[in-house]
Amino acid sequence: MLPSELAKRIRQLEIRTRKEVTDVLSGEYKSAFRGTGMEFDEVREYQPGDDVRSIDWNVTARQGRPFIKRFQEERELTVFFAVDLSASGLYGAGQTSKNDLAAELCATLAFSAVKNNDKVGLLLFTDRTELFIPPVKGTTSAMRLIREVLAFQPQGKGTDLAGAMDFLARVLKKRAVVFLISDFIGGGDYDKPLQLLARRHDFVALQLDDDSEEKLPDAGLVELEDAETGEIMLLDTASPKVRLTYEFLFTQRQFQLANRFQRLGVDHLRLTAGHEFTRELAAFLKRRIRARK
């Protein structure tokens, strides 16, 4: 992508996602994620119905009448995006690839974070750590994040989810909101590092798919190449049995992934490239809000 094309793409993405943040996600983002603790707000005079455990006895003694301490949630968050840029993310039967969807997701959530004065950081990974950007506040940081997801050229092709989780466990010292964005194709056994990371952080798995991955077309003999391993397979897509087996395996994989995240205590949302995702994301955040009540 040429610099002028990249700048235009980033600008278009910024305009569209800022509008989506304002119109659809303005309240959901702030309510869906907890702050890092409680901070002192003020002392005010006791009113009937207040919790007596909140009484500030020092101020009460000085004033000769009861006063209580008030606290508010410390809202400043660290929001971190771990984005899988392995070769399978380049796939997209339509005009939008899974990597394009990853960039739009990051833009939408990053601008939501900036609007709430939160820090944003980024990890790009394949079968290795490709790029790490420490969490920083501000629009400039969000714009850099978007640029890197759109234009970064990774060295690796495969997926090492466990390695990415281990890296995050080392660099994220304080509690953060972590979005793991991947198609979760390959990646090995990552249950233990993911579970350990999810215990320390507010963790969300965003799974990216493409419509055309769900079914095989009836196109006769087709040569398929695994984008990550280079393995080539010849399939007779004219065979109903082959197509049904493929659909069964795809459905089974989705079921197993959903069960895996549920077992590990990780919130999970599946999104499809080329589809409008903002309202799905908003509905997902509303479910998180209801679960907290």
User: pLDDT, tens digit, for every residue of 178-189?
Assistant: 999 999 988 788
73-82, 209-218, 273-282: least confidently modelled range? 73-82
pLDDT at 83: 97
pLDDT at 71: 57
Strand 129-136 relative to strand 119-125, pairing: antiparallel
pLDDT at 84: 96
**Does the pLDDT at position 72 exceed 80?**
no
pLDDT at 20: 78
**Does the pLDDT at position 292 exceed 80?**
no
pLDDT at 75: 58
pLDDT at 67: 80
pLDDT at 108: 92
pLDDT at 116: 86
**Does the pLDDT at position 212 exceed 60?**
yes
DSSP state of 21: I
The CA angle 17-257-184, to the nearest 5 degrees, is 55
How confident is the prediction for the chain on average, in pLDDT?
86
**Which tokens go with 49?**
């119905």
Q: Which of 286, 271, 282, 284 is nearest to 23 (CA)?
A: 282
- 109 CB-near residues (< 8 Å, 6+ apart): 29, 79, 81, 179
**Does the pLDDT at position 8 exceed 90?**
no
Mean pLDDT of 150-158: 92
pLDDT at 99: 92
pLDDT at 135: 94
Do the beta carbons of residue 168 and residue 193 sit within 8 Å?
Answer: no
pLDDT at 35: 57
Question: With bands split at pLDDT 50, 70 and 90, how would you rate the model's confidence at 177?
Answer: very high
Question: With bands split at pLDDT 50, 70 and 90, how would you rate the model's confidence at 38?
Answer: very low
69-83, 217-231, 239-253: least confidently modelled range? 69-83
pLDDT at 269: 96
Give the residue, 180 or 236, on which the prediction is more confident.
180
Domain boundaries, the chain: 3-32+77-292, 37-74
Architecture of domain 3-32+77-292 in CATH?
3-Layer(aba) Sandwich (3.40)
Mean pLDDT of 132-153: 92
Give the count of beta carbons closer than 10 Å to the beta carbon of residue 209.
20
Chain centroid offset of residue 267 CA: 10
Question: With bands split at pLDDT 50, 70 and 90, how would you rate the model's confidence at 291?
Answer: confident
Query: What percentage of the chain carries pLDDT values higher than 90?
Result: 46
